[in-house]
Amino acid sequence: MRDFLLQPIGLALLLGGFALGAIALGQNAGAGGNESLKGKRVAILVADGFEHSELFEPKKALDAAGAKTLIVSPEQNQVKSWKDKDWGEPIKVDVPLSTAKLEQFDALLLPGGVMNPDKLRTIPEAVQLVKAFVKEGKPVAAICHGPWILVEADVVRGRVLTSWPSLQTDIRNAGGKWTDQEVAVDAGLVTSRKPADIPAFNRAMIAEFAQGPYGPGVPNKTVKP
């Protein structure tokens, strides 16, 4: 074996094997393949008209990290996405909003799309569920127009967050501190602006969901991953 390693070809093969192994580990880590969320139950709250990529891509990342993702919706049986200026792929509803309880879940994902949060913020059960997550310090991730329902739930006061730019006045009027960056993290509250931010959003979301609840009344903590 020692003689083999001393040969240039042997050494090259060995180093090549190490390199391939490192690449594979990096790919698994980037995809959330380390199962850092194993045993976590994540509610994905949506109504018809959610932005396709803002549900399916984060859901895929959560699933890869070992989470059990559950679609919670006021819609019956399935809920429709919006993609490329038309209705897109639907997804099955796992838990009707009328039966959803805070204690069933460890974390909450709020995808965007204009129609989706605009409808949810008019439904008292949806607003109360979101408020309960934040009040109890359970991690919440919202992207694009998703923070609209956070405003309606009156849970952004004193918090640093981002969103689709047209929401910034609503957020500031509700007492939030709006920032223009790809992802903002504030004590378990993860927010991003748009579909292009999804890779950074997913990384921050998985890190916060893995950390678990901060508990009620935790002081603000803002970082940029």
Active site residues per annotation: 144-145
* Cα distances (angstroms) measured from residue 173 to each of 4, 46, 103, 141, 169: 70, 24, 31, 21, 6
**Residue 170: exposure state from Cβ atoms within 10 A (0-12, 13-18, ≥19):** middle
Alpha helical stretches, state H, the chain: 2-6, 8-30, 52-64, 115-120, 124-135, 147-152, 168-173, 198-211
Q: Are strands 78-83 and 95-96 parallel, antiparallel or unpaired?
A: unpaired
